């Protein structure tokens, strides 16, 4: 899928500098940032789901510890 991404001048300059520092092109750097974001969000969702499951499983214990 093709997509056009419009960046502010500040974002474009920051991306250019980051890409140059990493020895990559701006496109590669932007794609890596998107991949990193998607992975982080997925991991956050999994962590939230596991925390909720643990809270439900140990609700009684947690309530007693709070007393």
Percent of the chain's residues with pLDDT above 70: 100
The residue that leads in pLDDT, 53 or 20, is 20
- Phi and psi at 43, nearest 5°, equal -65, -40
Domain ranges of the chain: 14-66
Mean pLDDT score of the chain, rounded to an integer? Answer: 90
pLDDT level of residue 47 (50, 70, 90 thresholds): confident
pLDDT single digits (tens) 13-45: 999 999 999 999 999 999 999 999 999 888 888
- Dig out the tokens for 26 from the structure: 């701006």
Helix (H, G, I), strand (E, B) or coil at 41: helix
* pLDDT higher than threshold 80 for residue 67: no
């Amino acid at each position: 899928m093709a997509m056009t991404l419009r960046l502010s001048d500040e974002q474009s300059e920051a991306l250019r500098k980051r890409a140059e520092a990493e020895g990559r092109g701006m496109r590669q750097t932007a794609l890596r940032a998107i991949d990193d974001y998607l992975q982080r969000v997925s991991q956050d969702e999994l962590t939230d789901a596991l925390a909720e499951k643990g809270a439900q499983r140990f609700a009684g214990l947690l309530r007693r510890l709070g007393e």
